[in-house]
Chain A
Amino acid sequence: GAGVSQSPRYKVAKRGQDVALRCDPISGHVSLFWYQQALGQGPEFLTYFQNEAQLDKSGLPSDRFFAERPEGSVSTLKIQRTQQEDSAVYLCASSFDPSSYEQYFGPGTRLTVT
């Protein structure tokens, strides 16, 4: 596709459920980032992949959050035992390679935990 795609666009989960959010980066992009955007705030960094390697996961808020990119393309962000404070928009971004400044963002997945 032409841009970064994310699915689902909207997800409602009951507290305690597990969720999986998918990101399809731009084809050929080496770098992939996940950000969390709470209502009324700017995005905050969660984790970074270079190909399949997760080089930085310092932003993951708890061990309930897990991300993977097994083949260096599609990435999945998994949240276990969701809590109300996990409600946010989860944004995925990709960039061509580690020397690139520009990150291309997907439309995000809006997660609501009830």
Chain B
Amino acid sequence: AQSVTQLGSHVSVSEGALVLLRCNYSSSVPPYLFWYVQYPNQGLQLLLKYTSAATLVKGINGFEAEFKKSETSFHLTKPSAHMSDAAEYFCAVTEAAGNKLTFGGGTRVLVKP
């Protein structure tokens, strides 16, 4: 069975500061990993995905994530936070293309001016 744990349900960062959102996964087979962002009253938008190619994955809006098999982690970072980054972020895992996604509980990001 697959599972995802996101450490910290809320993160507060200052505008211009580093954003770091933590995600650890459990999977019985090599995983495929995703980060989604959800703005209020909207659906989920894909930020980036890891599908067994390069371990450092770059996504939209300046975000990137690094797959670390030894740590079973897929943490999301952005060097400099912008006010528009305030949203909820979800890490997700699947064990094969076309399969259901298993999501973490989400991390809500607040950006302070």
1/0 contact trace for B98-113 toward A, CB 8 Å?
A: 1011111110000000
A106 partner, pick from B43, B51, B104, beta carbons under 8 A: B43
Stretch at the interface among A11-19, A79-87, A96-104: A96-104
Check B45 against A41 for contact (C-beta < 8 Å).
no
Q: Does B63 contact A (CB under 8 A)?
A: no
Check A100 against B98 for contact (C-beta < 8 Å).
yes
Within A20-55, the residues touching B (CB, 8 Å) are: 31, 33, 35, 40-45, 48, 50
Check A45 against B102 for contact (C-beta < 8 Å).
yes
Contact residue range for chain B?
20 to 34
Contacting residues, chain A, for B94 (C-beta < 8 A): 101
Chain A, interface SS category: loop
Contacting residues, chain B, for A97 (C-beta < 8 A): 98
Q: How far is the CB of B45 from chain A (nearest CB, A)?
A: 7
Check B100 against A101 for contact (C-beta < 8 Å).
no
A7 to B58, CA, bound (A): 33
Tell me the count of chain A residues lying within 8 A, CB to CB, of chain B: 29
A35 to B106, CA, bound (A): 15
Q: Does B70 contact A (CB under 8 A)?
A: no
Interface on B for A, CB 8 Å cutoff? 4, 9, 32, 34, 36, 41-46, 49, 51, 90, 92, 94, 97-98, 100-106
